Amino acid sequence: MTAVAVSAGSDHTCAIAPGGVLYCWGKNLSGELGDSTTTQRERPVRVTGGLRLATVRVGYDNTCGVTVDGTAYCWGGNLDGRLGDSTDTSRTSPVLVRGRLTFVTVSSAFFHTCGLTTAGAAYCWGYGNAGQLGDGTLTPHTSWMPTPVAGALSFGSVSTLNFHNCGVTVGNAAYCWGSNIHGAVGDGTTNYAQSPVAVVGGLRFASVTAGGFHSCGVTTDGTAYCWGLNDAGQLGNATTTTRSSPVPVSGGHRFSALSAGGEHTCGVTTTGTALCWGSAYGGELGGPGSGQTTPAPVSGGLRFASLSAGWGHTCGVTVTGALYCWGSNASGQVGDGSTADRSEPVPVVQ
């Protein structure tokens, strides 16, 4: 399959084909594939509605995308309103996110969703119990439609996964908010953050990515840093010691982008080499037979333009637009027509 972008989630995956056409595959218990069914798919199926997508982000059991004109849609599981349509009804096809906002990206986690508008404002909605809505409260509550994140910061990017979020301002400062039990917020503490707090260290970031219980970022000079839970080596600093502030990823590599997954992290170097580290439970590192505490090359010698790390699998788009996935595949999320785990990249088939 040819793609321009891919997003790997918990047990499903979605990719944008040339022309903005969206395809999804894998688990579909809550309608997260958006094909108007709840049937599991081991191969890509087209999302209904005829939307032309510019970006897509896959969550736990739902999916969100932004059209080329900046309109946000979500579908799948809708516990506590994380689809943003002012209901708690799950949807098997895309529904409009309410609020009449124009978005750049929208991404969903376990119980909440966050988006970035074209004006650089961050909004979140769904269930908040650990500060993940960023609206200034730790009291458990539900926001049924997009609510502004406190602080009036102007963001260039926002990343959401699990129970926390991170973003980079237009001035290259990194901020995170939400659950901080393992230091994923990066402020040097383990105190939950009910609104964005600055990641310590004074680093200038080009991008950040929120993982399961850790976060990572690429500085403006291409250096990778990670912080948070490190039980599987997902911080990539040759240890399994958890950190509440950024530590450099080992190896001296220069990265163009990173993607933090459940217990692993992957990155693309400036030369297109794919490297992964952390847990290898289902083959999500794409090569090494066991977990890695430092970056290890993905097998196959492919040159990638982008990677997306899910909870137990990883996908990437090569510089020629070819789509590959690897890792856990019990629900068909690798997209090769099977449910067999893959420890090396395999082409996604249609």
pLDDT digit string (tens) for 226-243?
A: 999 999 999 999 999 999
* 179's tokens: 């659950």
Calculate the CA 288 to chain-centre distance. 23
* 310's tokens: 């899910």
What pLDDT shows up at residue 261?
97
* 239's tokens: 């240890």
Q: How far apart are the C-alpha atoms of 199 and 188, rounded to whole Å?
A: 8
Question: N- to C-terminal Cα distance for the chain?
Answer: 6
**pTM, full prediction:** 0.97
User: Residue 6: left if φ>0, alpha if ψ -120 to 50, beta else—which one?
Assistant: beta
Q: Transcribe 298-335 into DSSP letters.
A: PTT---EEEEEE-SSEEEEEETTSBEEEEE--TTSTT-
Q: Residue 256 — φ and ψ, nearest 5°?
A: -95, -30
State the average pLDDT for the chain.
97
**Taking 90 as the threshold, does the pLDDT of residue 288 lie above it?**
no
Q: Transcribe 243-308 into DSSP letters.
A: EEEEEEPTT---EEEEEE-SSEEEEEETTS-EEEEE--TTSTTSS-SS-EEEEEEPTT---EEEEE
Q: Transcribe 147-180 into DSSP letters.
A: EEPTT---EEEEEEETTEEEEEETTS-EEEEE--
Residues ≥6 apart with Cβ < 8 Å to 254? 221, 222, 223, 269, 270
* 139's tokens: 């009291």
* 286's tokens: 């794409």
pLDDT digit string (tens) for 26-50?
A: 999 999 999 999 999 999 999 999 9
Residues, the chain: 350
- Give the chain's domains with CATH numbers: 5-347 (2.130.10.30)
Q: How far apart are the C-alpha atoms of 57 and 73, rounded to whole Å?
A: 11
pLDDT class of 289 with cuts at 50, 70, 90: confident
What pLDDT shows up at residue 134?
98
Q: In this structure, are residues 8 and 309 in contact, taking their beta carbons and an 8 Å threshold? A: yes
pLDDT digit string (tens) for 46-72?
A: 999 999 999 999 999 999 999 999 999
pLDDT digit string (tens) for 130-166?
A: 999 999 999 999 999 999 999 999 999 999 999 999 9
Q: In this structure, are residues 266 and 274 in contact, taking their beta carbons and an 8 Å threshold? A: yes
What is the arithmetic mean of pLDDT over 9-34? 98
Selection from 236, 317, 231, 313 nearest residue 274 by Cα? 317
Q: In this structure, are residues 30 and 11 in contact, taking their beta carbons and an 8 Å threshold? A: no
The residue type at 84: G
Q: How far apart are the C-alpha atoms of 233 and 274, rounded to whole Å?
A: 17
Residues ≥6 apart with Cβ < 8 Å to 211? 161, 162, 184, 228, 234, 260, 261, 262, 263, 265, 309
pLDDT class of 215 with cuts at 50, 70, 90: very high
